């Protein structure tokens, strides 16, 4: 039994190492003194210093942050209302609707990008920040929907029933009882949505305009001319930011579960 456990742990470690080894190499070479990413010539912070002086990167970062905030907040509202409607509804087809609501998360991004491109072209909408926000909101909704739906499914309905018995209306019950209980799920979904939106490049390439550039698209276009330590530094910072958001989302989800168990 111990040998089997040791083998499983070793196998898991090997798989994890193979998955993250390219990322580790990129992070190490972001501190490379040389302009050639394939040649190590010494430790240096200069690429990070140069990175913060790049105006194009600063502009693209602002666009990505704005896009992530707008799309994740919109997804939070739509996903939360959709989850509440699905869980509280007595309609027999609500399980089918719940499955349909998660389809954007399971659909390949290149297919989503082509669909959005055709849709916006059919409507005659100019491509830019508006089309980016709509597209990112669409594929971010499932992340909020699933988190909130899970919170609602495990929530004790007696709290809401007690509030109604005391004379509280539906809106008062939602703001005073339901919302505080599902808030960890909403925040967790928002953080995941922001991380997915901030890192997206495939869908964004299809729906962005000529005057709007996001950080992932900027990295993609610069990679065509070759990989430099400056791009390594930028990818390192993006990876660390995304990792932080995912870990924070997981922490909020666990914190919400602990709070629910104590209740």
Instruction: Give Cα separations from 81 to 67, 144, 263 (angstroms).
Output: 21, 10, 24
Q: What pTM, to 2 d.p., does this model score?
A: 0.76
Is the pLDDT score of 149 beyond 80?
yes
Judged by DSSP in three states, 252 sits in helix
Cβ-proximal residues to 199 (8 Å cutoff; 6+ apart), any chain: 216, 238, 242
**Is 187:168 a contact under the CB 8 Å cutoff?**
no
Counting residues of the chain whose pLDDT is more than 90, the rounded percentage is 19
Q: Write out pLDDT tens, residues 225-256.
A: 666 777 788 888 878 887 887 787 777 666 65
More confident site: 227 or 121? 121
Residues 234, 52: Cα–Cα separation, whole Å: 10
Q: Write out pLDDT tens, residues 37-72.
A: 667 777 788 888 887 888 888 888 889 999 999 999
Residues 31, 181: Cα–Cα separation, whole Å: 45
Is the pLDDT score of 139 beyond 80?
yes
Indicate the pLDDT class of residue 206, thresholds 50, 70 and 90.
very high
User: Would you state the pLDDT for residue 3?
Assistant: 56
In the chain, the largest separation of any two C-alpha atoms, in whole Å, equals 73
Of 17-21, 31-35, 155-159, 219-223, least confident by mean pLDDT is 155-159
- The pLDDT of 125-146, averaged and rounded, is 92
Indicate the pLDDT class of residue 134, thresholds 50, 70 and 90.
very high
Q: Write out pLDDT tens, residues 4-41.
A: 566 677 777 788 778 878 788 878 888 887 776 667 77
More confident site: 124 or 98? 124
Instruction: List, in sequence order, every residue forming a beta bridge with 23; answer none if it has no partner.
Output: none
Residues 67, 127: Cα–Cα separation, whole Å: 14
**Is 53:183 a contact under the CB 8 Å cutoff?**
no
Is the pLDDT score of 197 beyond 80?
yes
Q: Which domains does the chain have, with CATH numbers?
A: 47-262 (1.10.3720.10)
User: Would you state the pLDDT for residue 157?
Assistant: 74
């Amino acid at each position: 039994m111990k040998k089997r456990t040791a083998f499983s742990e070793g196998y898991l470690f090997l798989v994890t190492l193979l998955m993250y080894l390219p990322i580790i190499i990129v992070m190490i070479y972001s501190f490379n003194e040389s302009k050639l990413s394939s040649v190590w010539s010494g430790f240096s912070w200069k690429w990070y210093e140069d990175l913060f002086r790049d105006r194009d990167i600063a502009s693209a970062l602002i666009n990505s942050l704005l896009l992530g905030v707008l799309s994740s907040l919109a997804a939070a509202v739509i996903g939360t209302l959709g989850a509440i409607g699905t869980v509280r509804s007595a309609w027999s087809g609500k399980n089918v609707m719940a499955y349909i609501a998660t389809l954007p998360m399971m659909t390949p991004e290149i297919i989503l990008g082509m669909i959005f491109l055709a849709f916006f072209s059919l409507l005659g909408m100019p491509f830019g920040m508006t089309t980016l926000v709509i597209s990112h909101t669409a594929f971010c909704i499932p992340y909020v929907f699933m988190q909130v739906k899970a919170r609602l499914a495990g929530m004790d309905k007696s709290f809401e029933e007690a509030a109604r018995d005391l004379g509280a209306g539906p809106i008062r019950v939602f703001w005073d009882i339901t919302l505080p209980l599902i808030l960890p799920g909403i925040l967790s979904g928002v953080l995941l949505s922001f991380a997915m939106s901030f890192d997206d490049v495939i869908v964004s390439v299809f729906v962005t305009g000529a005057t709007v550039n996001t950080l992932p698209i900027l990295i993609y276009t610069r990679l065509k001319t070759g990989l430099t330590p400056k791009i390594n530094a930028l990818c390192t910072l993006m990876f660390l930011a995304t990792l932080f958001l995912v870990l924070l989302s997981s922490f909020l989800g666990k914190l919400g579960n602990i709070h629910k168990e104590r209740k």
